[in-house]
Structure formats: C-alpha cells, structure tokens
Amino acid sequence: MAELTVKIPEVKAESYKITIGAQILSSLWPKIESQFPAFNKFVVTDENLVSTGHLKELLGKRDIPTFVISPPGEISKNTNTVIAIIEAMEKAALGRDTLVIALGGGTVGDIAGFAAAIFKRGVPIAHIPTTTVAQADSSIGGKTGVDSSISKNAFGAFWQPAAVYIDVETLKTLPDREYRAGLVESVKHALIADSKYFAFFEGNIEAILEREPKVLEEIAEFNCRIKANVVEADPTEKNQRRILNYGHTIGHAVESASGYELLHGEAVAIGIIGAAFIEIELGIGSKKRLTRIKNILEKLAVPTEMPQKVQKETLIELIKRDKKAINKWPKFVLLDKLGAVHVSQDKWAIDVPQDVVEKVLEKI
C-alpha cells in the first residue's frame, strides 16, 4: 500500500469594487465594458425589471443576450431556471470568457450567481441589485443558490462577485411594502455592527421613507461597509459571519409558520424583537434598548408582534429544524449593546435554553 499527498495551492487574496450612486444605471454599461473588456456579456434579470424600464436603462439600444426570469420571485428560484439560463448561454455560443450580469433583487442575484458559478466550471458575475434587501445584503458576500422541493438553497455555491453596482434610484420603483421590509436588514446591520448607523437611521427615518437619493446612498455605504467587513473576516460562514443571522433564528421560523404570507424582512423584524426579549431575560439587554429598536421598526411599519395565527408550538418545532443546527436546538446571535454582538468564548452565537425562548415567544 502506498500513500501520496496532493497539495492544493493557496488561492491568492483578491478584491472587488462596489460602486454606489444615484441614477447611474443608464451610464453604467461603458463602465462595465471598461472594467471587463475581455469578456462577452450575458444579462440575467426578471420581468419586474422589464416593466419598470430598468433593463432598458441598462442596455440602451445594445444587443446583449439576456435571460428574463418569469415569473419573478421565489417561485422561479429552482433548478429549472438555472438549467434554462445555462442552455440559453450555450445557445448564444458563450464560453468561459463570459461575464454574467445580474440585474434585479435578491432572487435574481441568487439564481444568476449560481448559474455563473457552475457554467463550464465557473465564470465571473457582476451584480446590479435593485431592491433594499439585495443592495444591503444579498449582492455582497458570494452566497448563491436555488431551492429544492424540500429546502431553501439546497443547491448552491459560494461565488464571490467580480463587481457590484448599486443605483439607489432603482429603489423608487419598488412596491412600498417590499421597500420597507427590505430595510429591516439594514436595521439589523446597524444593530450588530454600528450604533452610529442606528442613530443615523433614527435621525433620517422620514427621508428614508421618502426614498431621498442622498440618504439612500449613505445607507448603501453603511450597509456595504458592514457586510464587507463581516464577509472579509469569514467568507464561507465558518463562525463570525453568523452574526448576520441576528434576528433570523426566530425570524425564519415565523416566516415559515406564516405560510410565507410575511415577507422575509417582516419576519426578521419579529425575530429581532424576540432576540431583544431574550437579551433582557439573559441579563444582557434592556427595556430601553428594546423600545428604541421597536420604535424604528414601527416607523418602518413592519410587524413587531407575532401574528395571531402563528402557534408557539409550531415555532419551537421550526426552530429545532433550523438549517444551521440540524436536529438540535440552535444557537442564537445576541447583542451586548446597540452595534455590538455578544461574544462568549470566541463564539458569536450562544446557547439559549429552550424554556427562555418559549417564555419570550409568549410575550411577542
């Protein structure tokens, strides 16, 4: 018997740029061309971006092969769509020298990013996120994937973007409920990482709700900086990246228990309130902090109380099936104070007894 060792060489550090601006979409193409001159371009978007006119703004009169996901939304986040995208790329005679450009919300980015990750063993992806969630969160950090009939992101890859372009003007065409729910991820960023950002949110909530470009640009910068810092420290979610999960352990359960009638951000809002109650129970929170958080969420007009139809028992069962803790009680990300996660023995997520969670679920 013989034994050989194969070395897998290190992969050198790289970087990518996030460009943030207002009304930059219609002049973006030449910039993309100058940043990726050696690549053919292929655009993935969905019907929403066609009807809002954003696809046309991006392409102008250019004849670029484009795949329009239809219908838009989670319902198309599956392997059929990915297969259709890749076969469209093949029919357009595209090869490994192709840049995929994802124009749209989180779903478009997840699907297009995954297609780019597996097309002929991987081609680069540029994201142009057009929703509050995608601009704050999903376009940065390289998580891609589609759902199976059994679970979310059952198929996926870590595939870092080659570039991200954020035009905050695209948020103007978002439906109000989606716009506001998406901002919950921004509130989450402020809570886990930056008390000044939270104060900025409090001080500018009217301008935010009115979608003033200047303020939206500042928010985009706060979000990208926070998300980038976390992702740089832990690109494949081994430990620290879990802090982005703040409010999500209860949030995911609420989202599922509502039969997905609640938007993701709305469910996370309730999850954040739950986390704040747990912090009080464990002696690391305060009623004053809870009130500040609740105030801002109420101004966003997202729910801060559990919908009546959601049963506590259902939530407990769903929490036990949390994807981060298969078949066992998950750990929780909690705050020490506004802008700082509670870290215990180098762990960013900690044990919370089930009875404490049950008690808290009664209160919200």
Site for a copy of itself in 141-170 (CB under 8 A): 142-145, 148-151, 153-158, 160, 164
Which residue out of 143, 189, 242, 331 is catalytically annotated?
143
Q: Tokens 């020298």: give the residue.
A: 97
29, two tokens: 């193409």
The nearest distance, CB 51 to a copy of itself, in angstroms, is 27
- Residue-level length of the chain: 364
- Cβ distance to a copy of itself smaller for residue 41 or 342: 41
62, two tokens: 């250019």
The nearest distance, CB 122 to a copy of itself, in angstroms, is 7
Reference 306, options 353, 249, 257; nearest CA is: 257
Site for a copy of itself in 292-351 (CB under 8 A): 323, 326-327
Q: Does 65 bind a copy of itself (CB under 8 A)?
A: no
The nearest distance, CB 121 to a copy of itself, in angstroms, is 4
Which residue out of 41, 54, 242, 264 is catalytically annotated?
264
231, two tokens: 């992702």
Cis link prior to 71 (omega < 30° from 0)? Answer: yes
The nearest distance, CB 289 to a copy of itself, in angstroms, is 29
Q: Please classify residue 207 by burial: count the beta carbons closer than 10 Å to its beta carbon, then call 0-12 exposed, 13-18 middle and 19+ buried.
A: middle
The set of residues, in sequence order, having a beta carbon less than 8 Å from that of 44 and lying 6+ positions away, is 66, 67, 69, 85, 100, 101, 102, 103, 104, 108, 111, 112, 115
Q: Which residues bind a copy of itself (CB under 8 A)?
A: 1-21, 24, 79, 83, 86-87, 90-91, 93, 95, 97, 114, 117-122, 140, 142-145, 148-151, 153-158, 160, 164, 217, 220-221, 224-225, 228, 231-232, 235-236, 323, 326-327
Catalytic positions: 121, 143, 185, 227, 237, 241, 245, 248, 252, 264
